[in-house]
Chains A and B, each alone.
Chain A
Amino acid sequence: MTSGTVASAHTDETRAELAAEPELELAVAHISLPADEVRVIDLIRPDGGELPGWSPGAHIDLQLGEVTRQYSLCGDPRDRRRWRVAILREPESRGGSRFAHDVLAAGDRIIARGPRNHFPLEPAPRYRFIAGGIGITPLIPMIEAAEAAGAEWTLDYGGRSRAAMAFADGLAERFGPRVRLHPRERSRLSEALADLLAAPRPDELVYCCGPLPLLTATEEACASWPAGTLHIEHFSPRETLVTDHDTAFEVELAQSGTILTVPADRPIMAVLRDAGIDVPASCEEGTCGTCETGVLAGEIDHRDSLLTSEEQAVNDVMFICVSRAAPGCARLLIDR
Chain B
Amino acid sequence: MTLDQLVSLDPDALRCPYPVYDDLRAQGVHFDEAVNAYVVASHELVSEVLRSPDRFSSVNTVGNPVLPPDAPRDPEALRPLLILSDDPEHAARRSVVARAFTPRQVASWEDQVRRLVDERIASLKELDDVDIVRDVSKPLPIRVITWVLGIPDEDVARFREWSEVITSSVGSHRKDDGGAADAVRKEFSAYLREILKERARNPKDDVLTRIAETDLEENQKVSFVAELLVAGNITTTHHISSSVLLLATHAGLLDRLRADRALVTKYVEEALRLEPPIQGFYRLATRDTEIGGVPIPGGSRVFVLYAGANHDAQMWGEGCPHLELGRSNGSQHLAFGLGAHTCLGAPLARLEGRLVVEALIEQVESIELLVDAGEVEYAPSFINHGLATLPVRLTFR
| Cα(A289)–Cα(B107), bound, Å | 12
Let me know if B51 is at the binding interface, CB within 8 A: yes
B55 touches A36 (CB 8 A): yes
Specify which of A37, A89, A280, A283 is in contact with B340 (CB 8 Å cutoff): A283
Could you say which residues of chain B place their CB within 8 Å of the CB of A306? 98-99, 102
Stretch at the interface among A6-14, A73-81, A133-141, A271-279: A271-279
Specify which of A101, A278, A283 is in contact with B327 (CB 8 Å cutoff): A278
Let me know if A288 is at the binding interface, CB within 8 A: yes
Q: How far is the CB of A256 from chain B (nearest CB, A)?
A: 13
Contact status of A287 and B88, CB under 8 A, knowing A273-B329, A278-B331: no
Could you say which residues of chain A place their CB within 8 Å of the CB of B91? 287
B338 touches A282 (CB 8 A): yes
A276 touches B102 (CB 8 A): no
Q: How many residues of A contact B (CB 8 A)?
A: 31
Q: How large is the interface on B (under 10, 10 to 19, 20 to 34, 35 or more residues)?
A: 35 or more
Could you say which residues of chain B place their CB within 8 Å of the CB of A91? 51, 339
Contact status of A282 and B346, CB under 8 A, knowing A91-B51, A287-B94, A292-B104: yes
Could you say which residues of chain A place their CB within 8 Å of the CB of B344? 288
B339 touches A284 (CB 8 A): yes
Let me know if A183 is at the binding interface, CB within 8 A: yes
| A307 nearest CB neighbor, chain B only | B102
Most buried by A among B98, B103, B289, B330: B103
Could you say which residues of chain B place their CB within 8 Å of the CB of A162? 290, 293
Most buried by B among A163, A281, A282, A284: A282
B252-296: contact bitstring with A at CB < 8 Å (1 yes, 0 no)?
000000000000000001000000000000000000011011000
| Cα(A162)–Cα(B103), bound, Å | 39
Let me know if A102 is at the binding interface, CB within 8 A: yes
Could you say which residues of chain B place their CB within 8 Å of the CB of A305? 95, 98
| A283 nearest CB neighbor, chain B only | B342
Let me know if B386 is at the binding interface, CB within 8 A: no
Let me know if A191 is at the binding interface, CB within 8 A: no
| Cα(A162)–Cα(B294), bound, Å | 10
Specify which of B94, B338, B347 is in contact with A284 (CB 8 Å cutoff): B338
| B296 nearest CB neighbor, chain A only | A163
Q: How far is the CB of A74 from chain B (nearest CB, A)?
A: 22
Specify which of A161, A278, A287, A317 is in contact with B329 (CB 8 Å cutoff): A278
Could you say which residues of chain A place their CB within 8 Å of the CB of B98? 287-289, 305-306
A75-108: contact bitstring with B at CB < 8 Å (1 yes, 0 no)?
0000000000000010100000000011000000
Could you say which residues of chain A place their CB within 8 Å of the CB of B363? none
Let me know if B337 is at the binding interface, CB within 8 A: yes
Q: How far is the CB of A166 from chain B (nearest CB, A)?
A: 14
Let me know if A185 is at the binding interface, CB within 8 A: yes
B342 touches A186 (CB 8 A): no
Q: Enumerate chain B interface residues (CB-CB to A < 8 A).
A: 51-52, 54-55, 87-88, 91, 94-95, 98-99, 101-104, 269, 289-290, 292-293, 327-332, 336-340, 342-344, 346-347
